[in-house]
Amino acid sequence: MNKNNGLYCILGVALLACTAPAVHAQGAATYPAKAVRFIAPFPPGGSTDLLARLVAQKLTEAWGQQVIVENRGGAAGTIGVEIAARAAPDGYTIVMGHVGTFGVNPTLYPKLPYDAVRDFMPITVLATVPNGMAVHPSLPVKTARDFIALAKARPGELLYASGGSGSASHLAGEYFKLLTKINMVHVPYKGTAPAMASMISGETTMTITGMVALMPHVKSSRLKLLGVATMKRLAILPAVPTIDESGAPGYDANQWYGVLAPAGTPRDIITKLHADMVKVLARPDVKERLAADGAEAVANTPEQFAAHIKAEIARWAPVVKASGAKPD
C-alpha cells in the first residue's frame, strides 16, 4: 500500500505540473471574468479621477465586465497606492499612478508604506498632462526669461503659489528655482483652487501647475500664461513658448499618469491589460478628449514605464531635498 500511495503521489504531482500552465493560460484567456477594481488614489473631480473614469468606461465597453473606479484619497495619494500594493495580484485590482505618488513621494515620505518599484508591475503610461507657468496680469513680464530677470532683480520678493507643501506644483516651482538660480518665496495652499484664487487676487504672483486648472483663468485674462513646462509646444497653444526655449533650458515638469498592478500579477494578464489600454488610447474620441485639456496619450510598454519610474525618482529626489518640502 505504501508503494502504491507513493506512486499515486508521484503521478499526481506530475499531472499537476503538466496541467498548471494550461489552467493558467485558460484563466488569462477568459480575463476578466468579473469586475475589475481601478483605484484612483485622489478624491473625485481631479485629473487622476477623470482619466481613470475615461479609461474605465472604455474598458468596460470592450470587456463586457465592469471596471469600477474606487476613490481612495489621502496623504498625497499614499493611502490608495498602499491599498493597491497589498491587493491580491490576480489582475482584478489596478491603480492609477502619477508623478507625485511614484516620482516624488518615494523621497518626500521618509517611511513610505509602499515601494514604488518593488511592489508594482507597471502596465503603461496613459498620458502626460502639461504644467503651465502663469503670473498675475499686473506683473510686468511677458516670458519666462522676463520673470527670471525680475526675480533676480528682486530676490526673495516674488511669491509663488502651490496646492500644498510637497505637491506637484510645489516641486515644479522648486525645480524652476534650482535650474534658474533665483530666489522666490513659496506660499502653499490647501489645494489648487485656493492657490488659483490667491493668484487671481494678486496675493501671489506666479504658479506652475496643470493646464487644466490654468486655462479657464487664462482665457478670461485673469492670469497671464508665460510658457508651458514641456519640451515641445502644445498643439492647442502653438503660439505659447515652452519654458525650456524661453529662459530655462532643460526645464521639463510634465505631470504623467499611468496604470500599475500589484507585484506578482501574472505576466500574461499584464500583457492583456497593456494591449487593451493601448487600444483605448488609440481611439479618436479618447485622443480628442485628452487633447481638449492639453493632454497627450502615451501608451508605452511596461518595460519603458518601469524605467520611467526609476528615472523620475532619481530626477525629483534632489528637488525634494533642496526644497526642504515636508508632507502636509
Distance from C-alpha of 312 to C-alpha of 171, rounded to nearest angstrom? 13
The 10s digit of each residue's pLDDT in 152-204 is 999 999 999 988 777 788 889 999 999 999 999 999 887 778 889 999 999 99
**CB of 125 within 8 A of CB of 298?**
yes
Q: Do domains 33-129+255-323 and 131-228 have the same CATH topology?
A: yes
The 10s digit of each residue's pLDDT in 310-320 is 999 998 998 88
- 253: which DSSP letter? -
Residue with the larger pLDDT of the pair 88 and 291: 88
Give the start-end residues of each E strand in 195-249.
Answer: 206-210, 224-228
The 10s digit of each residue's pLDDT in 277-310 is 999 999 999 998 888 777 889 999 999 999 999 9
Domain locations in the chain as residue ranges: 33-129+255-323, 131-228
- How confident is the model over 240-264, as a mean pLDDT? 94
Superfamily (CATH H level) for 33-129+255-323:
Bordetella uptake gene, domain 1 (3.40.190.150)
**CB of 92 within 8 A of CB of 28?**
no
Q: How far is CA 34 from CA 83, 121, 207, 259, 312, in A?
A: 20, 21, 44, 19, 34
Residue with the larger pLDDT of the pair 219 and 260: 260
DSSP H helical ranges for the chain = 2-29, 47-63, 78-86, 105-108, 144-153, 168-180, 192-201, 211-219, 267-282, 284-292, 302-323
pLDDT interval class at 257 (50, 70, 90): very high
**Mean pLDDT, the chain, whole residue set:** 88
pLDDT of residue 198: 95
pLDDT of residue 215: 85
In DSSP terms, which residues pair with 71 in a beta bridge? Answer: 40
| In CATH, 131-228 is 3.40.190.10 | yes
Give buried/exposed letters for 36-64 (b at 16+ CB in 10 A, else e). bbbbbbbeeebbbbbbbbbbbebbbeebe
pLDDT of residue 28: 67
pLDDT of residue 92: 98
| Location of C-alpha cell 495619494 | 77
**CB of 118 within 8 A of CB of 206?**
no
Question: Residue 254 in 3-state DSSP?
Answer: coil
Q: Is the pLDDT of residue 8 over 70?
A: no
